Amino acid sequence: MKPLLITIDGPAGAGKTTVSRALADRLGYRYIDTGALYRAVGLHALEAGIASDDDTGLTALCARLELRFERLPDGVHLLANGKDISGQIRTPEVTMKASAVSARPVIRQFLLKVQKDLGREKSAVFEGRDMGTVVFPDADVKFFLDASTETRAQRRFAELPADAGQSLDDVTRDMRKRDQDDSSRELAPLKPAPDAVRIDSTRLSIEAVLETMLAEIEAVG
């Protein structure tokens, strides 16, 4: 099979991360979590006290931020300026900040180059929200993974540590707000690419989703 560039887009809690990792492992491809890149910017903006609409401050932040993925024995980690931040970018505060800064053109322009550089060699699975529509419109295979809001909220709630201080209702409310923000923004709104294969994972196991994807990939390759 020729090297392929595969994109998996969809809202939070649809199962993108689990499926993308598993698909990359099955194919022997690199797994690229592009949402983690936005979380990295969100984390550093929070730490620096930069407002989400402060384009001057965000531009300066990006100029001094180097992001890269590194495969370690326990999986792929994200490093920012050489520091592993993988354990710091999954808090509710970082999640909401990442969603806010992701709407800023200066951030999308900065990360667009980072992502395109990562995709040059293909043989990669890119997970995100606008991979198949904006970043890689010519990707070899595109998927849009979705699930009901209730199912996605339950999945995300189950992933939170016991001391996260959020109830299921809190998670559901935050998810609805993020869905609204992501789908209604002017720049790169969350939506399926016209040629994406759409999969509803509400009642599907991870293996069932994988088999559906592998069949589509086999047809292309």
- The mean per-residue pLDDT over the stretch 29-48 comes to 94
pLDDT for the residue 185: 79
At 26, list the tokens: 């099955």
Residue 28 sits at φ, ψ, to 5 deg, of 75, 30
Does residue 201 carry a pLDDT above 90?
A: yes
Please spell the DSSP secondary structure of 152-207, one letter per residue.
HHHHHHHHS-TTS---HHHHHHHHHHHHHHHHH-SSS-S---TTPEEEE-TT--HH
DSSP 8-state secondary structure symbol assigned to residue 138:
T
Q: In degrees to the nearest 10, what's the CA dihedral of 48, 161, 34, 65?
A: 20
Q: What is the CATH number of domain 5-220?
A: 3.40.50.300
Which residues is 144 bridged to in the sheet? Answer: 9, 198
Q: What is the tens place of the pLDDT at every residue in 54-110?
A: 999 999 999 999 999 887 888 789 999 999 999 999 898 999 999 899 889 999 999
Which residues is 32 bridged to in the sheet? Answer: 126
Q: Locate the domains of the chain by residue range.
A: 5-220
Q: What is the tens place of the pLDDT at every residue in 132-169?
A: 999 999 999 999 999 999 999 999 999 888 888 889 99
pLDDT for the residue 1: 80
Does residue 187 carry a pLDDT above 80?
A: no
Q: Which residue type, as a one-letter code, is found at position 45?
A: A
Q: In degrees to the nearest 10, what's the CA dihedral of 186, 51, 96, 78?
A: 100
